[in-house]
Structure 1
Amino acid sequence: MTSVARSLAARVAVASAPSRGSERKPPTAASRGRIRAVRAMGYESNIPPTRGQPGRFGDGGGGLILPGDDRYDPGMVKGIPSPSNPGGKSGFDPRTGTGGPGQLPGGYEAPPKPGSEKDPNAAFAPFRPPSEYLDTDPQGFLKEDDQMSFLRLRNRAGMWYQLAPILPKLMRSGFLPDDIFDETGIEPREQSLWQTWTSTRGSLLNDPRFPDEKLEYFDDEYNGAPCLSHLQYLTNDERPPAAEFVVDQQFSPDQTKELIKAFEIRRAHASQAKGFGTTPGEIMAFKMWRDVQEVQRYEGMGRVEELVEKGKRYAESDSAVQRLEALRDAWSMDLSEGSDLMEGGLFAKAQADAKANISTVRLDPEELAFRPVPYLGPMESLSVEKVIAVQPVARTGVFNTFVPQGAKEWIAMPAWAALASAQIPFAILVSNTGKLSGAGDLSQREEPATLVVDKAANTPGPGNYYLVARESSIQLAGGKGAVVIDVYPGRECMDIERNGQGTVIGRVVLAVRAPGGTGDGMTTEFVA
């Protein structure tokens, strides 16, 4: 009983109790407050002796109907929306079995889906197995309550075709596929597949043309059962022999899909199927015969032979084999040696010539703007013989061709203006520019660099830097190597040469740093 009902009952009990003057107690402060509150609301101090004001249900009834009242109708509760019944009257009524999915108001079943008609006089749809097989329950799983059904599905306690009928049972109880997924872990897609497979399997089980002992092939949920998804598209007359052919050939789902496609081709091109029978094997052979005609010339005889042999493997009649071999012979004649259609013949050569192409580009002057420079290795190992061997390089022709002379190694550098001013340049490697004695700002850097030196400019002058061999132990006409090789400013070189302390090898034209952006801390800043 609700709090409102208890309050009303208490007031009725107080009002109906007989008053006794001798037992009446003097009013307290709290009771006087309650009396004043009742009068403020417009009522007398005494509660009326009736159960309520007269209403549309008669005297003493009022408009409020409470549980336990004679006018209370439990059947009205299912029409009230609630968290468990958000649809109100559309919810499922377990007492009457009405209001569930697939039922119309009043308990009538919804119209059957195409292919599931139970009335023999109803419209016939041969391409869909009847859904009545989902109602079969040889194991008695449908008699279990919903919680036991959820437990059985959650543990997959049975074969897929034994568990599939439980799904419609739960849906009739008001559970959606997502609800079943939350309780059991079986995804809605898998639920739908189970029901489809069960319908197709049931049509084979009840068909005397299909051997019952071969149903075991479809028990495998990962290889055999998916074949049923494709077999459902065949007619009731085509399905049993096709399913038996799938079992005998141990077809995979992809091969079964190809078989169904073969049935479609056979129906669409029945006029061309002369010599081919109507058994599944003959239908597959006819499909191979059709596929041979669609082979492209560039695929050659290898593809033709493959399809013909595949068709002969499925063919069951001599006429089908003869048609396949005749088509192969025709292809062999077209592609034989000397034929214009032969593989590698005139036709193929013409196709190849039409597709042949030579990429052609035109060089910009900037793309030829490079200069080959002899590379003499590290500065520490520089010898007189290497410097003497450096010769001028002459480039000829529109593509600046040249013949390497003297040095064994060369380096190609962009034709910068500074490099263009050098007459006989050569390059050496400095492992650490910070070890150079008098290279100016270059001596302040700790990094490798390539120095380009002009051998022809060996007369020092102010404003330039020069590569110098100290102590004049180097003789350009031949002799032993210098003791020290270093870079010095032009004015200092003039003093060194005047005092006979060294020999100028050449003017330093460029200092080329290594490329930046490789994580070594260098930049692409040019250093002159």
Structure 2
Amino acid sequence: MLALSHPHPASTPARHRRAVPLAPQHHRRRRRFAYVTPSAILLGPDGRPIGSGLGSGPRNKLPFTPPPMAPPGQLYQPFHPPPAPLPDSYSTLDLSQRLEVLRDRLGQWYEYAPLIAALSREGFTPSSIEEATGISGVEQNRLVVASQVRDSLVSEGFPADLLSYFDSYSGPELLYELRFLNARQRADSAMYSIDNRLEPKGVRELARSMKDFPRRRDDGWDAFTRASPGDCLAFARFRQSREAIAIEDCISELELALQVVETEAAKARVELEMEKAKKKAAGEEVDDDEADTAASRPDVPVVRLMYGEVAEATTVLLLPVVRETDGAEALALAPRRIKKDVDLGLVEVDKGWTRWAVVPGWGPVSAVADEAVVVEMADGRTLPWRSAVEERVLVVANRGRRDVVESGIYVVEKDGRLVVERGRKLVELGVGEAAAEVLLVARPPKDVDDDMLGDEEWD
């Protein structure tokens, strides 16, 4: 322990002394501190200085904190990596054999990676391991972390045949980039990386986009799905397009987003932004507020059902229901009404059917009840407007009108599924005929209606 003290006057030999002219009192007081020199003080186990002298007083010693003591015979290490079980084939090896396995890379990388952590617990440092095996400290860290990520994939039930994709030499680099994600996100991103054959740089971008997505609640965030790796990556590029200064860079980022986006709602949002960017590139004036309002407002009635509404309605309709996964052929084959007994309310259709919906006799639907059909959609966010939310919806459509016009909204088949698209987009794609025209969209009733008064408010 070092402390600062004044040298003892008697310790200076007489031959080194020289006469110094006296200075005023305030100068002499200042010069006293110019002779301060460091001297060492040895402290004993009780913290008291050993030896004598003016500098040995307890008021002159610096605060002293003894270092942590290691167990006898062991090297003190401030950090210990978490223990990792060794494979059975390596558990019986001695030290020289373990170093040989690492030096010659005997076996798969995820099998010998736990040997690095085991050596660290035994007192080896990254530099000493590198000297003995040739594996650099950076690669040591990558191997250990990648093996932990791989273990988390195994615990999540990741398919074994796909897990072998990471057994190659570049496997640790790919898995290392997923270290910041939770177990579920790691599995999803690993599957996406395999399907799209991503390089380490692409996996890094994917992992960062999935990690940042919950915190980036910018405009348009609601249209993207958190559980979709492609949507998270598309949203990151969607944000970058808005930060781009040049319109060419903005369009380039949006094109990349369209290549990776997965859900229909997110795709519609990116396409809307692409349309605005192309108009700006062509020199046309674009009102952002007007475009956002148009994107959030549907062109057909959207109603929310209420509990007991059907029972209180004076007229009800019985309509066949088709799931969105059934395709356009099922939509065309759904039964049509051929006769109705008004007095007794009997309905006759041309064929048998197993799934029906009872809805109030809305005017637009009653007028075309013979050709009306209901499309059941599991997620309302697939509708082509931003105000749609995640809930099951019923799309009531008219099969009697199939010619596409720009002002309409239609049901079309896409990749074997029934989706809703604006007529303007279908015209741009050259689609002249759809499966049916949308009449209205019915949303499920809420458990709590904020617009209704409670019993206590009536008193």
* TM-score where L is the length of structure 1: 0.38
Greater share of strand residues, 1 or 2? 2
Q: Which structure is larger by alpha-carbon Rg, 1 or 2?
A: 1
